Chains A and B, each alone.
Chain A
């Protein structure tokens, strides 16, 4: 017991953090995510344009007119400034409807990140809770919850979302609110994977000797689950959450692309990429569809790097 007293005490969490910070790729991911968050949340405050502000151009003078400038719009020879090239005014040009691509990128990224985080949180709350209960109690409780998990696994996701979307349309949900309902539904459809994973973890943690010790000490069930078992399952939960987060952002893009997600005129990365549908745009106007595509790629990859980095950091054998 003569080990150096002055040695810095490190909790397991700090050790993980130290290992994580040594992983260059994970740090790159973290930086990308931080920059994206700043870009999407702080960016709009500095942008002079609105999310769905359409720009017109006076073909006689070459002067650009905003859709809010109703007086100027009445002048003859004014047309929509579609597919404008990259310029000092429009850093990434304008899209097929004459809206600033750069500004829409900020709003679109905001929606995508929101979507990813919200869905992940919902799936975690439901999944962790049900998984922990199933894993701790086992027996009948486990049986019921696991059958429920199987049911949710069997629901085909895309058709279901199409149906949900159709329902919302008939119920008259406002297009800007639709995306929030979608988040909730996606969370509900995705908890099964988390629950299964958490349950498996709990089952193995339940059989460890320190859990026998906790039981023998007469601790309450809630304390056993939340203080002793869940912290040991957290590594796998965090890793799964970061990986899922990237996936959900992709799904959001897919849904919007299919027309289920956020609708015109609001921006999301998915409907911005949607512009690629027209072959003219695909061939000649890279500035319209490539930036949102790259943005999605960057975010999703960054989340995966972070997830990988966390997994390696949690696993000291590596």
Chain B
């Protein structure tokens, strides 16, 4: 096939990096991604740092426009540049013996990382498969790109095995079918199989179940949890649904307007949410246990990404805001070794306690 003979682009020397902690798969350090638009500079991601340890699911929660998808796209370097640009920070990927700074990689050498070391599952299973190729062809292509010397028989076997792994029983038949012949849930399974095909170190799942029905969502979540342990990979799970996070993730990062407002283990976040935004999100969720007559709501809207204030971005929606909150944007302060929050009020309470 055409891509077999393609020469491998050299990886630029400045892209090599050193991991802070070798037990992490990915370390994001002060990442800044800005969009240069007609209306001004949009600071879509403005200085976020987070670690993804090996064999762990990290949930990134936030509402639309908080920068969670931009973060994932910049790890994959799939952003349209320009208007987007990574203006600062490092994205260090642990390759075992050495490490790479994905933020400094050039586009050609990124191709060797995508799919092989880091794979992605998109939100829309309907549009993330190409309608003119069969499921088998699409799965094979993904494997061939990174393992051009694989034999034909082995390749076919591998595809069938992958489909079996994601719980597709009639895999021989499915290999020959086209995407439109499958239902939404089936397609998302195929997309997951594609992501798994090269046994990546990290899988980025961007709202993997949002487009699916609840009963199908339950199936897919269970599948992802099971597969993570089976192939020892890490998952970066991007979602707006706290329920999904609680179920899937071990670590949680809450983002608001391009910054991390709170991060910690799933137990810390759900048991002891410190940031008013995190608390608001939890209370606003209609759940069966919440018996109050009126649903709690965070008033106001997500701030416009252009011309953000120089104080806390959540200030004008916050119920607990104080005088101090008009000071400069609060830094992330560690409450426990794993739990960090960026809020004046929360910090004060913590010191008093």
Contacts and interface: CB of A to CB of B under 8 A. Distances in A.
Contacts of A18: 38
B304 A3 contact: yes
Interface string A1-12: 111000000000
B316 interface: yes
A98 B197 CA distance: 80
A3 B301 CA distance: 9
Nearest to A15: B38
A2 B316 contact: yes
B82 to A, nearest CB: 12
Most B Cβ at <10 Å: residue of A1, A2, A18, A19: A2
B300 A1 contact: yes
A87 to B, nearest CB: 51
Most A Cβ at <10 Å: residue of B38, B300, B316: B38
Interface residues of B, number: 5
Contacts of B38: 18-19, 22
Most B Cβ at <10 Å: residue of A3, A18, A19, A22: A3
A19 B301 CA distance: 28
Interface string B263-280: 000000000000000000
Interface residues on A, range: under 10
A2 B301 CA distance: 8
Interface in B300-353: 300-301, 304, 316
B83 to A, nearest CB: 11
Contacts of B304: 3
Contacts of A1: 300-301
Contacts of A19: 38
B42 to A, nearest CB: 14
Interface in B14-63: 38
Interface string B89-132: 00000000000000000000000000000000000000000000
A22 B37 CA distance: 13
A22 B301 CA distance: 31
Interface in A3-55: 3, 18-19, 22
A18 to B, nearest CB: 8
A1 B38 CA distance: 23
Contacts of B300: 1-2
A22 to B, nearest CB: 8
A22 B39 CA distance: 13
Contacts of A22: 38
A18 B316 CA distance: 32
Contacts of A2: 300, 316
A1 B299 CA distance: 9
A131 to B, nearest CB: 28
A3 B316 CA distance: 11
A19 to B, nearest CB: 7
B309 to A, nearest CB: 11
Nearest to B317: A2
A18 B38 CA distance: 10
Nearest to A22: B38
A2 B38 CA distance: 22
B307 to A, nearest CB: 8
A2 B300 CA distance: 8
Contacts of A3: 301, 304
B227 to A, nearest CB: 35
A93 B92 CA distance: 72
Nearest to A19: B38
B308 to A, nearest CB: 12
A48 B2 CA distance: 68
Nearest to A3: B304
Nearest to B307: A4
A19 B38 CA distance: 9
A276 to B, nearest CB: 46
A282 B132 CA distance: 53
Contacts of B301: 1, 3
Interface string B284-306: 00000000000000001100100
A29 to B, nearest CB: 21
B332 to A, nearest CB: 26
A157 B50 CA distance: 66
A22 B38 CA distance: 10
A19 B316 CA distance: 33
Given A1-B300, A3-B304, 6 more contacts: A1-B301, A2-B316, A3-B301, A18-B38, A19-B38, A22-B38
9 contacts: A1-B300, A1-B301, A2-B300, A2-B316, A3-B301, A3-B304, A18-B38, A19-B38, A22-B38
Interface of B: 38, 300-301, 304, 316
Leading 7 A-B pairs by shortest Cβ distance: A2-B316, A3-B304, A2-B300, A1-B301, A1-B300, A19-B38, A18-B38
